[in-house]
């Protein structure tokens, strides 16, 4: 499980720019207008060969006139509790605000490492701007420029060693299932039904579950670890500020699981937020199963199931391999069948294909449909190998890796699915440059040398 670093601070201090800098992407929206960040956002980063996740958050203020102020403060505390380290961004140009002091008082009480960063410091000549911030009682301040990269290396040379190790994987004999979804979709009810007892608090009030909870159950002589999670909020007036932090729980649960059970409230239909939740599972490479819960509340006809499945496939095209089923956690309808699907998905998720068999699949696929030319030159595929499982991950050596179109990559993945029987698991496929190997479909033949008798 990757360590998580939460980025906090008031609006417009440069959190999103900082996020983009350390993830080496430009995924977070950046603007000078306060409060631009609306959706929860996370990314993967690496420093000195150590990988970790970063959560970018919206700006938070503590205006008591705001009816959501207390809820906001509560969510900030929860985010800090869930992270392995916190980076608080201060505004080197705007100076100190009342929120900075209150936030620092909160951070002083936590047990995880906290790093205070004064942003918008473009060079040594701007560092005198730090002096005012020492009045907040901070011993160490890191001057940085998120936009230009100044001071970033010094910060992360100190931060990364303070992060915990990724940790060993959970017992291979126990399949871990993360139960995720929107609030009030029936996640805790489903776990209670599986366990046969009211172990988890269930309420009609969204957000009853606050922490990820592990339970162990045995089905058919096999043990499973069930991870219940807090609901991932849908968009709304509150969630524009608060939903940033629910991703921390989701990431932790999905990083720890083998298969994600995406619970959808079928009585409300398939929503955009359901697809967002599924996207997090896809990004983390989990096996995935869609569970259309509360099916007993759905008005049905002969085409209802087909209609739901078609909408799900249309909205979540990136998970068109993931199986789906209708259930009712309340009545127990088809709940026992979930584990049959889990076994199938997990078996494929943990599959390893022999090198010879894999190369025959790729060679056959290339003969069937050759890739397009790259700048007038033919792409050459030399050799394929599987480098890991959970999910099955493959690498193919080619002469121009960057020239392999995503549609051809998808074609090769589909061929692996079809030929290897991996139709219900995510598959990862990478291309690397390598020369000097025998190309698929080619064989080197040595010249026959005539043997002459030696003269005596």
Check: CB of residue 22 under 8 Å from CB of residue 6.
no
Q: What is the CATH number of the domain that holds 393?
A: 3.30.300.20
Domain limits for position 403: 355-433
Check: CB of residue 344 under 8 Å from CB of residue 299.
no
452 is a domain residue: no
**pTM of the predicted structure, to 2 decimals:** 0.65
Asked whether residue 124 falls in the same domain as residue 11, the answer is yes
> Could you state, in chain order, the average pLDDT of each consecutive group of 10 residues for the chain (456 residues)?
84 86 64 36 82 73 52 62 88 87 86 94 89 90 93 94 71 79 88 72 40 72 82 52 59 85 94 89 93 93 90 93 95 94 96 95 94 85 94 94 92 96 96 71 48 43
pLDDT of residue 163: 93
288 contacts: CB under 8 Å, gap ≥ 6: 259, 260, 262, 278, 281, 282, 319, 322, 345, 426
How far apart are the C-alpha atoms of 42 and 169, rounded to whole Å?
22
Asked whether residue 361 falls in the same domain as residue 340, the answer is no
Half-sphere exposure of 226 (CA within 13 A, CB side): 23
Cα–Cα distances in angstroms (integers) from residue 308 to residues 73, 315, 400, 407, in the given order: 39, 11, 42, 27
Backbone angles phi, psi at 61, to 5 degrees: -125, 165
pLDDT of residue 441: 61
Closest-CA residue to 401 (of 383, 381, 386) = 381
243 is a domain residue: yes
Domain total of the chain: 3
Asked whether residue 59 falls in the same domain as residue 145, the answer is yes
448 is a domain residue: no
Residues constituting the chain: 456
How far apart are the C-alpha atoms of 208 and 179, rounded to whole Å?
15
Asked whether residue 99 falls in the same domain as residue 224, the answer is no
The three-class DSSP label of residue 165 is coil
How far apart are the C-alpha atoms of 261 and 225, rounded to whole Å?
12
Last residue of a domain, one of 349, 380, 403: 349
Asked whether residue 8 falls in the same domain as residue 111, the answer is yes
pLDDT of residue 24: 80
pLDDT of residue 363: 95
Number of CB atoms found within 10 A of residue 277's CB? 28
Asked whether residue 155 falls in the same domain as residue 186, the answer is no
How far apart are the C-alpha atoms of 138 and 45, rounded to whole Å?
27
Asked whether residue 262 falls in the same domain as residue 320, the answer is yes
pLDDT of residue 119: 94
Last residue of a domain, one of 162, 187, 222: 162
pLDDT of residue 218: 84
């Amino acid at each position: 499980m990757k360590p998580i670093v939460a980025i906090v601070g008031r609006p417009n201090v440069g959190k999103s720019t900082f996020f983009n800098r350390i993830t080496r992407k430009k995924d977070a929206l950046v603007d000078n207008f306060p409060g631009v960040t609306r959706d929860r956002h996370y990314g993967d980063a690496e420093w000195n060969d150590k990988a970790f996740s970063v959560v970018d958050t919206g700006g938070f203020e503590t205006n008591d006139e705001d009816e959501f102020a207390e809820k906001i403060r509560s969510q900030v505390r929860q985010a800090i509790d869930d992270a392995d380290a916190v980076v608080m961004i201060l505004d080197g140009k705007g100076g100190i605000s009342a929120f900075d002091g209150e936030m620092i008082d909160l951070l002083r009480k936590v047990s995880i490492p906290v790093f205070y960063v004064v942003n918008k410091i473009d060079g040594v000549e701007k560092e005198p701007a730090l002096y005012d911030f020492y009045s907040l009682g901070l011993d160490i301040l890191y001057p940085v420029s998120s936009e230009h990269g100044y001071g970033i290396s010094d910060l992360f040379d100190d931060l990364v060693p303070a992060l915990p190790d990724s940790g060993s994987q959970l017992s291979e004999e126990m399949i871990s299932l993360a139960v995720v979804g929107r609030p009030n979709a029936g996640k805790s009810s489903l776990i209670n039904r599986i366990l046969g007892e009211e172990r988890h608090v269930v309420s009609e009030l969204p957000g009853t579950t606050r922490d990820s909870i592990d339970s162990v159950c045995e089905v058919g002589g096999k043990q499973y670890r069930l991870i219940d999670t807090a609901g991932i909020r849908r968009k709304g007036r509150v969630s524009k500020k608060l939903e940033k932090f629910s991703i921390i729980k989701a990431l932790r649960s999905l990083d720890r699981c083998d298969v994600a059970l995406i619970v959808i409230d079928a009585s409300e239909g398939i929503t955009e937020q359901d697809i967002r939740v599924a996207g997090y599972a896809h990004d983390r490479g989990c096996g995935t199963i869609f569970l259309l819960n509360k099916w007993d509340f759905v008005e049905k006809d002969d085409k209802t199931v087909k209609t739901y499945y078609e909408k799900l496939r249309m909205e979540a095209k990136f998970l068109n391999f993931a199986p789906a089923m209708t259930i009712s956690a309340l009545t127990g309808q088809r709940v026992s069948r979930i584990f049959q699907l889990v076994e199938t998905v997990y078996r494929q998720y943990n599959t390893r294909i022999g090198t010879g068999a894999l190369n025959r699949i790729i060679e056959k696929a290339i003969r069937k449909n050759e890739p397009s030319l790259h700048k007038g030159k033919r792409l050459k595929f030399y050799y394929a190998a599987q480098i890991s499982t959970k999910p099955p991950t493959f690498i193919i050596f080619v002469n121009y890796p960057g020239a392999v179109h995503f549609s051809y990559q998808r074609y090769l993945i589909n061929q692996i699915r079809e030929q290897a029987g991996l139709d219900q698991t995510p598959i990862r496929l990478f291309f690397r440059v390598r020369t000097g190997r025998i190309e698929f479909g080619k064989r080197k033949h040595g010249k026959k040398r005539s043997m002459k008798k030696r003269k005596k």
